[in-house]
Amino acid sequence: MLNSRYKKRFLLGLTILAIVVAVGAPFTGMQFISLRSVLDPVSAGTDYDIFWRIRVPRVCISFLAGAGLAISGMAYQAMFRNLLATPYTLGVASGASLGAACYVHLGFMFSLLGIPGISVFAFCGAVLAVAFVYGITMLRGKRLASSTLLLAGVAISFFFSSLILFIQYLSTFAHSFQIVRWLMGAISVVGFEPVRQLTPFVLCGSLVILYLRHELNLLMAGEDLSTSRGVNVNRTRQFTFFATSLMVGGVVAVCGPIGFMGMMAPHICRLIIGADHRYLAPATLLFGGVFLTVCDTIARTIIAPAEMPVGIITALLGGPFFIWLLVGRSSDKWGMA
Amino acid sequence: MNPPIVEFEHFSFVLEGHMLLSDISLSIDPGEFVSIIGPNGAGKTTLLKCLERIHHTSHTGIRIAGKSLAAYSQRELARVVSYVPQADGVLPLFTVAEFIMMGRYPYLSPCTPPRKHDKAVVAEVLELTGTAQFSRRHLATLSGGERQRVFIAAALAQEARILLLDEPDVFLDPCHQSEIHGLLSRINRERGVTVLLITHDINLAALISGRILALKKGSLVYWGDPEGLMQEDVLFDIYGKPFVFVKHPSIGKNVVVTDAPC
């Protein structure tokens, strides 16, 4: 059993690791960049631009996306009392992917207020999915019942996935390849504009989840118990649903549907620090950010000058790590005697 | 005389077109130990869930501590009424101490950690319920009896004046059942907590309670003292089945045993 002092130390260690990774990652890549080069634009030449215009924004985006996806997965797992829930369970990623597939298939090439058209379409798709899922759930009753929400999300997810396949089937080979490539998820940004666009989504969403950490603890224990402890279950679900959906919609619009992070990052943290969301929520947030940043650094280095989709690396690295933790730890952490 | 702590006044509850509770009127005094009995599907759990506002209705016709149930926020209500639900087999992934601390939710601020008082209350209920020795273990590693004590401890951490329990002794062996009943009696006697206990054990209800409430098909069929309940016609009226009465050898009171199998 972990006492609270251990948990606080773990959080402190994770914070230090996050700072080290966030500061160190931009220096690492196809070629290392020296500290002098990033401070002196005149003598550094292209290194200065690579560092400040490509690598730093990319590290920021990977940290934000990793943190956002991980904490969203954690929130959904608590809300549905289902450890297999992911940020994409409610169809947000399918909605975003459908939006992106439409954009590619229709051959659009535009940007709106500096936001790439594909991100605009993807975000609209995500919002459409959220609206559908919420609407269907509310049609069944005035309350946001978790079973209806889950089933509506899964149904919308499958429906949108079928539409994506249909669009791919109708597309040219080049467009179809572009859609598949987008679906793998990748972090390729230039400049700070995407960082500025994504930050409010992840910041607001994460703050809402951190604020609801006591409620999430109780939702894990069941709806009746939560209500009897004084939780307004319906309101908590609404806040969680909208905060996480918009956060995931924002992340997927910028990076595509990066797999693995949202489901496994909370599990890995739960195995290390326990299920109490007072500690689990900040730990998952930091771990998600660190993990995706490390994965993205590897993705852009390992087969340089080419790049690997980061989604491949997250599962390749995270899967074995997770299995190692799972086998090494006692089963009681999972609620299995 | 103290005003009633729970009052039902012509209370009815309809769910999806089905009348689950019909015209319930009664009042419970502070510090009473009330057992709720009745056949399956009588509305016992529904009654408790209405009191906790787990079931959503207008809740007119119920008053708690002199105030209409509808006037409470969920958090305010949790400071007055706590609830131990039926064991559903799904275990949250928490340690005993973490789970009991969740009982302090109605008093916790979202922006600050638990205060000294919250920790003191948790320590106190851990002692009272005999759960302190396994406070660092996970719920999944506990036996059924230990787990039920933890659920009662978490409800007590709410410092509520009314404790509702839905068959807390189900699935327990006689030894652990008696342990739970002893604990509930002590909580009622020493802390003055009003207890409403759902049970299928008529003998237990008669021995442990001050008053007994019997429901049948959503209607109140008996509300009174244990002596009045232990009558052949009253029990037949509730369960539609005859019982055999025998004298308890050590306490001298009437207890029932079932007749031949139905």
DSSP per-residue codes, A155-201: HHHHHHHHHHHHHHHHS-HHHHHHHHHHHH------SSHHHHHHHHH
What are the tens digits of pLDDT across the range B152-205? 999 999 999 999 999 988 877 888 788 888 989 999 998 899 999 999 999 989
B237, B64, A223, A275: CA torsion to nearest 10: -130
Nearest Cα of chain A lies from the Cα of B141 at a distance, in angstroms, of 5
* Neighbouring-strand partners of residue A295: none
Mean pLDDT, residues B136-162: 89
A270 in contact with chain B, both atoms CB, cutoff 8 A:
yes
CA distances for B106 relative to A218, B43, B99, angstroms: 12, 28, 14
Inform me whether the pLDDT recorded for A289 exceeds 90.
yes
Q: Which of the four pLDDT bands, split at 50, 70 and 90, describes residue B260?
A: low
Given a cut of 80, whether residue B111 has pLDDT beyond it is: no
What is the C-alpha separation between B205 and B193, in angstroms, rounded? Answer: 17
Residue at B1 is within a domain:
no
Find the CB nearest B93 among A227, A228, A270.
A270
Chain A CB within 8 Å of residue B144 CB:
no
Domain that holds residue B160: 6-258
User: Which stretch of DSSP H or E encloses residue A57?
Assistant: helix A56-79
What whole-number distance in Å separates Cα of residue A211 and Cα of residue B89? 29
Share of chain B above pLDDT 70, in %: 96
Inside any domain, residue B56: yes
* Domain boundaries, given as residue ranges, for chain A: 4-334
Say whether residue B15 is in contact with chain A using an 8 A CB cutoff: no
CB contact under 8 A, B92 and A333: no
Burial of B233 (0-12, 13-18, 19+ CB in 10 A): exposed
- DSSP code per residue over A226-248: HHHHT--HHHHHHHHHHHHHHHH
Q: Provide the domain count of chain B.
A: 1
Q: pLDDT tens digits for B33-63?
A: 999 999 998 999 999 999 988 887 766 789 9
Give percent above pLDDT 90 in chain B.
48
Measured between beta carbons, the chain B residues lying within 8 angstroms of A212 are 110
Tell me which CATH homologous superfamily contains domain A4-334. ABC transporter involved in vitamin B12 uptake, BtuC (1.10.3470.10)
Q: A123-138: per-residue pLDDT in tens?
A: 898 889 888 888 888 8
Q: Does A139 touch chain B (CB under 8 A)?
A: no
At residue B68, what are phi and psi to the nearest 5 degrees?
-60, 140
Contacts A274 to B, Cβ<8 Å: 93-95, 98
Q: Which residue of B has its CA nearest to A333?
A: B93
| Distance in angstroms (rounded) separating the CA atoms of residues B156 and B195 | 11
Select the residue of B93, B99, B102 nearest A334 (Cβ to Cβ): B93
Using the predicted structure, report yes or no on whether residue B243 has a pLDDT greater than 70. yes
B138 touches chain A (CB under 8 A): yes
- Given a contact cutoff of 8 angstroms between Cβ atoms, the answer to whether A140 and A119 are in contact is no
Q: What would the pLDDT profile of B4-30 be if each residue is shown by its tens digit? A: 999 999 999 988 888 899 999 999 999
Q: Does any domain span residue B197?
A: yes
Contact B85 A220 (CB under 8 A): no
Q: Is the pLDDT of residue A313 over 90?
A: no
In sequence order, what DSSP letters do the residues of A62-95 get, joined into one string?
HHHHHHHHHHHHHHHHHHTT-TT--TTTTSHHHH
Amino acid at B118: D
CATH code, domain carrying B156:
3.40.50.300
What is the model's pLDDT at position A2? 58
Q: Which residues of A touch B98 (CB under 8 A)?
A: 217, 274-276
Sheet containing B81-84: order of strands: B81-84, B162-166, B194-198, B33-37, B211-216, B219-224
Confidence band, pLDDT 50/70/90 cuts, at residue B262: low
Q: Cis omega (within 30 of 0) on the bond before A305? A: yes
Mutate to test the interface with A, among B51, B69, B74, B137 (most CBs of A within 10 A): B74
**Which pLDDT belongs to residue A264?**
86
Averaged confidence pLDDT in chain A: 85
Say if B113 is an interface residue toward chain A (CB within 8 Å). Answer: yes
How do residues A105-164 score in pLDDT, each as one tens digit?
888 777 777 777 888 888 898 889 888 888 888 887 777 788 888 888 899 999 999 999
Which tokens belong to B214?
């019997």
Decide if B191 touches A, using CB distance below 8 A. no
Residue A233 · residue A223 · CB < 8 Å: yes
Q: How confident is the model at residue A1 (pLDDT cuts 50, 70, 90)?
A: very low
Nearest CA in chain A to B102: A218
